[in-house]
Structure 1
Amino acid sequence: MEIYQHFRKEEQPFIDQVLSWKELVEKQFLQKSSDFLDPREQKIFQSLIGNDEQFKLSFFGGTAETERKQAILAPYYESIEQTDFPIVMLHAVYPTKFITIEHRDVLGAFLSLGVQRKKLGDIVVGDGIIQLFVSSDIASFITFNLTSVKKATIEWIEKPLEEAILSSETWQSHMTFVSSLRLDIMMKEIYGISRQSAVQAIQKKFVKVNFRIVEDIAFVVEEGDIFSLRGKGRSRLKEIVGASKKNKAQINYDILK
């Protein structure tokens, strides 16, 4: 299909899924909700629907500031409310005096259960509290099976989304020009390391794009991509603004502080 040429090859299955949802909504006049999508998937979804007036598309992840969000696609005449999204917030406490728990500890414990990442939205950890935004269809499973994180015993209770705590994470925005949108160049510019260090990090599988390891230094990044470099934290490409007179790309990006 001609539409594929605008996206990466590995994104084709997701594109096919969105197009099938679009056809389902169009023919059966029903709402269709997705699992949690990362920002890149949200952008793809939005671009595939575009300005088609037959549809209404909305994203929500549990709060206004969540990064990972579910999508609901509906006929144009239907209203989409936040309560329509099949999201459950699970809340737990742990003793900070005896243990330190980080985002990656909770994610690792979740994935160890064999549950797909797409069933989990944002994770908020802080001040002895853990909050998970999960798909409603796995909430009970998580409650009964995710009983420990590191050495802490965890007991989950379901709470209304209105009681979500604000994440302590802050993103710092930057703007710069890059000679290329290749992954090695982006890692060099975003994290302030040498080109050689960026290449080595990619080849050693220290770099992830949208939570997947990418080993190709010539991988071309896109708007909405989320990066992580081991030991350097996370970042995201917010916008490709345009090109300079010297044919450099002007970009807006955020770094998680």
Structure 2
Amino acid sequence: MSIYDHFRTEEQPFIDQVLEWRKTVIDQYRMKATDFLDPREQFILRSLIGTSDELQLDFWQGYEGAERTRALMYPVYYEPNDSDFAVKCLELEYPVKFVTLKHSDILGALMSLGVKRKKFGDILMGDGICHLVVAEEIADYVRLNLTSIGKSTVKIKELQPEHLIRPTDQWSNEQSTVSSLRLDVILSEAFRLSRSKVTPFITNKKVKLNWKTVEQPSSLLQEGDQISVRGLGRAKLITVDGQSKKGKWKITYGTKKSK
């Protein structure tokens, strides 16, 4: 069985990239910091690297609940430190008395600068505060060029990870059994809705699987998959724990309901 058989066809380019990273670390005896990876990519990376006698794998954990983060692969004899992850934390200052900025505003402003999504991590929003986690190689560019968002002026300063806003919305994790790993079945279980009520969300393009719109209720899920449903919230399939004697799938999943 090929290694690709364990993953989706569209994930093959990322798998090839991971294997190339692994080869570079082993052959050249040097560390490799990845771009920011979403949770599904982190799962694939862990699955492919696993436990190895030739290299180690760590993820930047600047704060609890980090979703998008950088990974570091390095030779077994090397002892990494935080600077090896090449992550910078930035705070956006803006006139909060007159302007309200949303997550989508910040994301749009960064993308309009030509910054690739994989070069920055989570956007953390608080009460009149916005923090960014970015790759060190683009931090100066963002500081110099992100001077306004919409009609609001913006000033940026660097801060230490311990001062980052902590996410307030927590995942609620549960264990259950389901008849199959179909998208509509998992969503029905996660959001306590009938499949007939879940299906229109999918067919009306309101569901994203691993950040890409999916329209097939029969799409099969795998461990590490992340799902967002407009108007309902988010769900993730954490683990698939085998099948019961009656043929049902034992799963652990998480949900975040929309506010």
> What is the match of residue 98 of structure 2?
98
> What is the match of residue 11 of structure 1?
11
- Structure 1 stretch 125-134 or stretch 163-172: which is displaced more? 163-172
Alignment of 1:144-155 (within 5 A): 144-155=144-155
Alignment of 1:232-243 (within 5 A): 232-243=232-243
Q: CA deviation at 1:61?
A: 4.6
Q: Which amino acid aligns with 1:212?
A: K
- Structure 1 stretch 57-66 or stretch 221-230: which is displaced more? 57-66
- Whether contact under 8 Å (1:182, 1:220) holds in the other structure is yes
Counterparts of 2:134 and 2:247 in 1: how far apart (Å)? 43
Identity %: 45
Alignment of 1:72-221 (within 5 A): 72-221=72-221
- Whether contact under 8 Å (1:99, 1:152) holds in the other structure is yes
- Structure 1 stretch 22-31 or stretch 136-145: which is displaced more? 136-145
Q: Which amino acid aligns with 1:10?
A: E
Counterparts of 2:96 and 2:231 in 1: how far apart (Å)? 24
> What is the match of residue 70 of structure 1?
70
CA 1:101–1:254: 2 relative to 1, 3 Å = farther
Asked whether 1:225 is paired with 2:209, we answer no
Q: CA deviation at 1:30?
A: 0.6
Q: CA deviation at 1:151?
A: 4.3
Counterparts of 1:180 and 1:63 in 2: how far apart (Å)? 35
Note the residue ranges of structure 1 that are not aligned, 5 or more in a row. none
Q: Deviations over 1:33-87 (max 9, x none)?
A: 1001111111111111122211111111532431111111111111122221011
Counterparts of 1:177 and 1:3 in 2: how far apart (Å)? 28
- Structure 1 stretch 189-198 or stretch 13-22: which is displaced more? 189-198
TM-score between the two structures when normalised by the length of structure 1: 0.93
Counterparts of 2:37 and 2:192 in 1: how far apart (Å)? 29
Q: CA deviation at 1:116?
A: 1.8
Helix, strand or coil: the match of 2:240? Answer: strand
- Whether contact under 8 Å (2:209, 2:228) holds in the other structure is yes
Helix, strand or coil: the match of 1:62? Answer: coil
Counterparts of 1:125 and 1:29 in 2: how far apart (Å)? 39
Note the residue ranges of structure 2 that are not aligned, 5 or more in a row. none
Counterparts of 1:214 and 1:114 in 2: how far apart (Å)? 26
Helix, strand or coil: the match of 2:132? Answer: strand
Q: CA deviation at 1:99?
A: 3.5
Counterparts of 1:113 and 1:178 in 2: how far apart (Å)? 44
- Whether contact under 8 Å (1:61, 1:121) holds in the other structure is no
Q: Which amino acid aligns with 1:238?
A: I
> What is the match of residue 37 of structure 1?
37
Counterparts of 1:44 and 1:177 in 2: how far apart (Å)? 24
Q: CA deviation at 1:238?
A: 1.6
CA 1:170–1:95: 2 relative to 1, 3 Å = farther
